[in-house]
A and B are shown apart, each in its own frame.
Chain A
């Protein structure tokens, strides 16, 4: 059985998640190949006499030229196999779509998910874990998670746990989004003040680093122009305003400094707090 899920990332991931959940209910083993995998797809083609059928999720495999020839060769075999093969791609050429069609693949396509739909979905997910969040909090989470449903669920879970711990311990709850916003506004004093406040409150600088890194990644995506249109309209609108605060060179330098900091921290040469302070002083 062969599926091709095409289009907007949020939708394809959600569709994938529901197919995987169904497979798990039936105890079907689920495997993954990604663009940087090396294992041939043919390894998943046959299941032994006493083996269960399995589900193979191939994510963005057509981005890897090494897989193209193999996929072309075995597309019909995949479609007629008892195993399930799902290809997730953002877009494919007409030629590839035709090949999948001819092989008998079920093709699902989706356009951009509306802001309202995304918000409604995230709100429902929050309710599942008994968390009530404001729309702006949910938007911020969607932005940070780059619309990846799994990341959104993880961030909602964290917010839920933070809220519980806030109620329990009455600790001042740090809002790292404020920090990322101060950085994107190129507000040196405000970002330094917030970072020091987190440190004083006993909260980690690593969280601030990651929140800020997501922001930089978003701005760089927007700056690249073509890819910017794939971002959510809310994220795009906010990011385009923030992009005015940095020149292309400044943004690239900032991004390099963040990457260097991460490597230095991993090597144990510097702490996130120290490294972030150094970067902020330079903005």
Chain B
């Protein structure tokens, strides 16, 4: 008997993935939402951690783009909660932050973030590229 064939979605399929953006900066949130939607992703956005977590639990995304400095609960605590939530623990979380100290990066990665991007170094095109790479690794 042949081994069962593992299902591997192609690129056009993972481009339909759901991305949740948790970002309080309206300008960046809108810009990334527009950019990612235009590339085919299904995008939802939240302005703070609580809203983001609620949205993620209600409809689990395929990837979360998370800012660290947020009103109310900070991004580190949100990341911790995401990783403790059974439904969300395997969802890759990509950090996009203005923070760039080693201890911030190390802390986020130790909490389970898949990658850490410092805002001022990446254009929306590059962020989108990184998202595709993470999803490709996840699905292919």
CB–CB B105/A31 < 8 A: yes
Known pairs A154-B124, A157-B124; A165 contacts B103 (CB<8 A): no
Complex alpha-carbon distance, A206 and B120, angstroms: 22
Nearest-neighbour CB distance to chain A for B119, whole angstroms, equals 8
CB–CB A165/B34 < 8 A: yes
Query: Is A110 engaged at the interface, CB distance under 8 Å to the other chain?
Result: no
Give the residues from 86 to 122 in chain B that come closer than 8 angstroms, CB to CB, to chain A: 99-103, 105, 118-121
Q: Which residues of B contact A31 (CB under 8 A)?
A: 100-102, 105
Q: Which residues of B contact A44 (CB under 8 A)?
A: 102
Complex alpha-carbon distance, A20 and B126, angstroms: 14
Complex alpha-carbon distance, A20 and B119, angstroms: 13
Query: Is A150 engaged at the interface, CB distance under 8 Å to the other chain?
Result: yes
| Interface of chain B: mostly helix, strand, loop or mixed | helix
In the complex, number of A-B residue pairs with CB atoms less than 8 Å apart:
56
Give the residues from 7 to 33 in chain B that come closer than 8 angstroms, CB to CB, to chain A: 26-28, 30-31
Query: Is B137 engaged at the interface, CB distance under 8 Å to the other chain?
Result: no
Interface centre among A32, A33, A164, A266 (most CB of B within 10 A): A32
CB–CB B101/A154 < 8 A: no
Query: Is A283 engaged at the interface, CB distance under 8 Å to the other chain?
Result: no
9 example contacts (A-B, Cβ-Cβ < 8 A) are as follows A17-B121, A31-B101, A31-B102, A37-B101, A39-B101, A150-B123, A154-B124, A158-B31, A206-B26
CB–CB B123/A153 < 8 A: yes
Nearest-neighbour CB distance to chain B for A79, whole angstroms, equals 20
B31's partner among A17, A54, A161, A206 (CB-CB below 8 A) is A161
Query: Is B83 engaged at the interface, CB distance under 8 Å to the other chain?
Result: no
CB–CB A164/B38 < 8 A: yes
CB–CB B101/A157 < 8 A: no
Nearest-neighbour CB distance to chain A for B25, whole angstroms, equals 10
A30's partner among B35, B103, B121 (CB-CB below 8 A) is B121
| Interface of chain A: mostly helix, strand, loop or mixed | helix
CB–CB A266/B38 < 8 A: no
Known pairs A154-B28, A161-B31, A164-B38; A39 contacts B121 (CB<8 A): no
Q: Which residues of A contact B105 (CB under 8 A)?
A: 29, 31
Give the residues from 70 to 100 in chain A that come closer than 8 angstroms, CB to CB, to chain B: none
Nearest-neighbour CB distance to chain A for B129, whole angstroms, equals 12
Nearest-neighbour CB distance to chain B for A39, whole angstroms, equals 5
Query: Is A247 engaged at the interface, CB distance under 8 Å to the other chain?
Result: no
Query: Is A210 engaged at the interface, CB distance under 8 Å to the other chain?
Result: yes
Q: Which residues of B contact A270 (CB under 8 A)?
A: none
CB–CB A157/B120 < 8 A: no
Known pairs A154-B31, A161-B35; A266 contacts B101 (CB<8 A): no
Complex alpha-carbon distance, A206 and B103, angstroms: 34
Complex alpha-carbon distance, A184 and B121, angstroms: 32
Q: Which residues of A contact B103 (CB under 8 A)?
A: 39, 43
Nearest-neighbour CB distance to chain A for B81, whole angstroms, equals 23
Q: Which residues of A contact B51 (CB under 8 A)?
A: none
Complex alpha-carbon distance, A44 and B101, angstroms: 10
Per-position contact with B for A252-274: 1 when CB-CB < 8 Å, else 0?
Answer: 00000000000000100000000
